[in-house]
Amino acid sequence: MLNFFIVTATAVVNSKRNKAKMNMKCQRCGKETCATIMSMFNTEMICISCKEDEQKRPDYQDAVKADEMAIGQGNFNFRGIGFR
């Protein structure tokens, strides 16, 4: 029974720690977010709503193609076509 309490207490402490870790900031709009994804235009880590805005841009497909082409050429450090 004592073990049960110890496990529960540890789980609570861990979940609090994880929450603190999840306070990431979007590098584009600066808002706090629980999930970030890399921009297709540059190496910024951005939030989901910024990513959605990015996907609506007319030049998004160009950015995707440039990224795929760079990877096809073995360039895994491609920094994107640049966010304008």
Of 46, 16, 6, give the one whose Cα is nearest residue 29.
46
CA distance 21 to 16: 9
29 binds Zn ion (CB under 5 A): yes
Q: Which of 36, 47, 54, 63 binds Zn ion (CB under 5 A)?
A: 47
What minimum distance in Å lies between the beta carbon of 28 and Zn ion? Answer: 5
Choices 3-11, 16-24, 26-34, 65-73 (CB under 5 A): range interacting with Zn ion: 26-34
Q: Which of 36, 39, 41, 50 binds Zn ion (CB under 5 A)?
A: 50
**Helix (H) or strand (E) segment spanning residue 6:** helix 2-21
CA distance 28 to 10: 36
Binding residues (CB under 5 A) for Zn ion: these are: 26, 28-29, 47, 50
